[in-house]
Amino acid sequence: MDTADRQALRTRRDAVVNAHIEAEAVRHDVAAALATFRNPRYEVPAVGLIADGADAVEGLLNQLLAAFPDFWLTKDAVHHGDDVVVVEARFGGTHRGVWAGMAATNKPMEVQSALIFVFDDADLICEKVYFDHATVLRQLGAPA
C-alpha cells in the first residue's frame, strides 16, 4: 500500500471513529453507533464483558446510557496502528441507574480510558474499552 492509500485509509478510519464517538457519547444515538460497525462487538475487560453482535452491543449501550444518562467522552489523543485506531480519552457521567450490577448512587464519575477501535481494512469490527474500574467504583461510593 502506497503512502496515498495509507493516508486515505487513515482518513476513512478516523471518520468512522469520530462518527461512532459522536453517536454514542454526544447524541446518545445507539442505532447510529451500531451503524458504524460492520459486525458490532465490544470488549470491556474491566467488567469482564464481551458483547458480540448487534443485539448484545445494543443492550450494552442502552444499559450504559440508562445508568449514565449524561454520559460524555472527551478525546485527548489519537494514535494509528496497522489495524487499529487508539483513542486516549476521559469519560464520565452521573450514576442514575444500575451499572455493572451496582444500584444508582447519583454520584458523578470520570475516568481516563483507552479505546482501541479494531478495523478490517476500513470496517470497524470491535471496540475494546480499557479503564480503571476501581477508580470508577471509588467515585461512585462502592464499599471497599
pLDDT score at 95: 97
Question: In terms of pTM, does the model score above 0.85?
Answer: yes
Question: Residue 9 corresponds to which cell in the numbers above?
Answer: 485509509
Element (H, E) at 129: strand 123-131
Range of the domain at 75: 3-140
CA distance 46 to 141: 17
- In this prediction, residue 117 has a pLDDT band, given cuts at 50, 70 and 90, of very high
Cα separation values, 106 from 75, 101, 102, 109, 140, Å: 25, 15, 11, 10, 8
Check whether 144 has a pLDDT greater than 70: no
Q: Residue 103 carries which DSSP code?
A: -
The CATH number for 27's domain is 3.10.450.50
Check whether 34 has a pLDDT greater than 90: yes
CA distance 49 to 104: 20
**Mean of pLDDT over the chain:** 96
pLDDT score at 142: 84
38-81 pLDDT tens trace: 999 999 999 999 999 999 999 999 999 999 999 999 999 999 99
Are 114 and 27 contacting, i.e. CB atoms less than 8 angstroms apart?
no
Report how many domains make up the chain: 1
